[in-house]
């Protein structure tokens, strides 16, 4: 595994909402470059940029029209290369968002593939063999092309599915994964990857990585085979480059050659019980039912998270990283479900568990979820994609454009959190995040690959304690109590001296019993 990942902390940036450098109301790549020192000072040494390629933006850039061209609203290819160079000068890495499963319907490949005459790109997408043929269980579109066929979709109507073949071919028009057309699609995607690697990119976050091959086996054996080919090409070409998958099944994705997989926020899964556990979204707003583990008055214990996360971590810890997130562009803001005190404890926990953590822009200052009309296919996700809040100037420092020109409106509340205000407050959420990440970077036992073991987790009890590290890195005990009452935690061995880091009131140690005050977190050295 690539060495730099062991100390990596990623910062996800939604480009259109981070910083507008040219006053057109939309964030851009030069704006990101201007703020690299802020990101590095926060404690994040790697970036994940959501799609910044040419697009009609019917799905916020996840409908790519030209994979090798930066969207004009974000700048130019040279701007992106300059961002790579500026990041590398700061010992930072940059991942681009690769969307390999589908393109925009406006992509040149699709326009050629839709022609009635057979041509070199006729098989680049999944087409049936009749204008009235259904998609064999997949969504499909008919009547919009001269070609006498319908085509399969991956997501929205504007996103025709690229052809990587079928695991089980049940119709005449379905091709195996080693068919010439499916192999040509694979080669075309590798060509895109190589293009950006050669430009200075350090790897890719891969959208819908598990969706390439249709009619796959339950363990995604055919999709795994396709990715093993592509990840092997990447490692041969750029050994230090990395890939993180949107898969949420590390026993599959890491076997496919990915360096990392995300634990995603799926309603009712272990991650959702940890920090969100909403009861759906009503009229565009989350309905927080207060049952997430970090909610102060919740009765949820840590086992709802561990029962989901721990088996996958144990099964794959030798193969790669299973990464935790504070949120992302597809989830409701963490602030929608947790208050500031609860978020501090959540961040302390997320940033001291194994894997490379991902921090969504603005979560470090507690940006709020906004109830907004849909924008570029965002629907209820739109409220998590609002402009970064830098200071108290116009548009909260995001843009010098008139407010009505902004990509999305900024938080209108008088107490909208900003970077500038929190930098002046040593007790702010921002400075708490900086302190936790400084601890992580300065403590080898908290590295992404450093050993992990559960010290204490019991059903019906709110406290959670875990060990990190080994003889080579040093050994630590981390412990959290998110509840409203103090908790005693029995330890297998005594801790050494005063805590290295705390949040909330100071813990007490009596022999091998650790007493954690309400809403507290602590890190201790172990012998």
* pLDDT score recorded for residue 27: 98
**H-type alpha helices, 137-243:** 180-199, 221-237
* pLDDT score recorded for residue 284: 53
* pLDDT score recorded for residue 283: 56
Q: Which residues contact 49 (CB under 8 A, 6 or more apart)?
A: 13, 15, 32, 94, 95, 96, 97
Q: For the whole model, what pTM was predicted?
A: 0.97
Residue 78 φ/ψ, nearest 5 degrees: -65, -35
pLDDT digits (tens, 9 = 90+) for 311-355: 999 999 999 999 999 999 999 999 988 999 999 999 999 999 999
Q: How far apart are CA 362 and CA 332, in angstroms?
A: 12
Contact 358, 10 (CB under 8 A): yes
Annotation: CATH topology of 451-526: Immunoglobulin-like (2.60.40)
Q: How far apart are CA 325 and CA 263, in angstroms?
A: 7
Options 3.20.20.70, 3.30.420.40, 3.90.1300.10, 3.20.20.80; CATH for 3-99+263-440 is 3.20.20.80
* pLDDT score recorded for residue 290: 84
* pLDDT score recorded for residue 524: 98
Q: What is the 3-state secondary structure (H, E, C) of 229-267?
A: HHHHHHHHHCCCCEEEECCCCHHHHCCCCCCEEECCCCC
**Contacts of range 447-452, beta carbons closer than 8 Å, 24 or more positions apart:** 447/6, 447/7, 447/473, 448/5, 448/6, 448/7, 448/8, 448/321, 448/354, 448/355, 448/356, 449/1, 449/5, 449/6, 449/317, 449/321, 449/354, 450/6, 450/354, 452/313, 452/317, 452/353, 452/354
Contact 369, 336 (CB under 8 A): yes
The residue ranges of the chain whose pLDDT is under 70 are 278-288
* pLDDT score recorded for residue 280: 57
* pLDDT score recorded for residue 279: 64
Contact 312, 250 (CB under 8 A): yes
- Cα 436 to chain centroid distance, Å, stands at 20
* pLDDT score recorded for residue 514: 97
Q: What is the CATH number of domain 102-161?
A: 3.90.400.10
Spans of all domains in the chain: 3-99+263-440, 102-161, 451-526
């Amino acid at each position: 595994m690539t060495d730099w990942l062991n100390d990596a902390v990623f910062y996800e940036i939604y480009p259109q909402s981070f910083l507008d450098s040219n006053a057109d109301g939309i964030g851009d790549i030069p704006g990101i470059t201007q703020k690299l020192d802020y990101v590095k000072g926060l404690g994040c040494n790697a970036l994940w940029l959501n799609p910044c390629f040419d697009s009609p933006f019917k799905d916020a850039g996840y409908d790519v029209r030209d994979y090798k061209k930066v969207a004009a609203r974000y700048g130019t290819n040279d701007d992106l290369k300059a961002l790579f160079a500026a990041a590398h000068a700061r010992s930072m890495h940059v991942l681009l968002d690769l969307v390999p499963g589908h393109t925009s319907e406006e992509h040149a490949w699709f326009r050629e593939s839709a022609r009635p005459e057979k041509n070199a790109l006729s098989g680049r997408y999944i087409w049936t063999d009749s204008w009235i043929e259904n998609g064999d269980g997949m969504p499909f579109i008919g009547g919009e092309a001269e070609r006498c066929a319908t085509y399969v979709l991956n997501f929205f109507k504007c996103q025709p599915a690229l052809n990587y073949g079928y695991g089980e071919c049940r119709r005449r028009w379905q091709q195996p994964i080693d068919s010439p057309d499916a192999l040509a699609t694979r080669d075309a995607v590798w060509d895109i990857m190589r293009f950006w690697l050669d430009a200075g990119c350090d790897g890719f976050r891969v959208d819908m990585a598990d969706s390439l091959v249709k009619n796959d086996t339950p363990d995604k054996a055919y999709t795994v085979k396709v990715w093993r080919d592509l990840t092997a090409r990447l490692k041969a070409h750029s050994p230090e480059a990395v890939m993180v998958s949107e898969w949420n099944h590390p026993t599959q994705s890491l076997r496919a050659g990915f360096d990392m997989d995300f634990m995603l926020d799926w309603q009712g899964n272990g991650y959702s019980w940890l920090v969100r556990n909403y009861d759906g979204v009503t009229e565009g707003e989350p309905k927080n039912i207060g049952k997430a583990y970090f909610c102060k008055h919740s009765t949820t214990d840590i086992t709802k998270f561990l029962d989901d996360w721990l088996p996958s971590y144990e099964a794959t810890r030798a193969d790669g990283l299973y990464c935790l997130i504070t949120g992302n562009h597809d989830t409701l803001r963490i602030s929608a479900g947790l208050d500031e005190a609860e978020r501090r404890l959540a961040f302390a926990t997320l940033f001291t568990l194994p894997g490379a953590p991902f921090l969504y822009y603005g979560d470090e200052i507690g940006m709020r979820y906004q109830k907004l009309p849909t924008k570029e296919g965002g629907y209820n996700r739109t409220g998590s994609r609002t402009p970064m809040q830098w200071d108290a100037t116009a548009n909260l420092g995001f843009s010098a454009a008139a407010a009505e020109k902004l990509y999305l409106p900024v938080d209108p509340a008088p107490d909208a959190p900003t970077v500038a205000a929190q930098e002046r407050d040593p007790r702010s959420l921002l400075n708490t995040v900086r302190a936790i990440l400084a601890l992580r970077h300065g403590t080898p036992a908290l590295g992404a690959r450093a050993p992990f073991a559960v010290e204490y987790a019991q059903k019906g009890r709110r406290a959670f304690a875990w060990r990190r590290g080994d003889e080579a890195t040093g050994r630590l005990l981390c412990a959290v109590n998110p509840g409203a009452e103090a908790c005693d935690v029995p330890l297998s061995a005594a801790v050494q001296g005063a805590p290295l880091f705390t949040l909330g009131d100071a813990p007490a140690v009596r022999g091998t019993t650790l007493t954690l005050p309400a809403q507290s977190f602590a890190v201790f050295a172990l012998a």
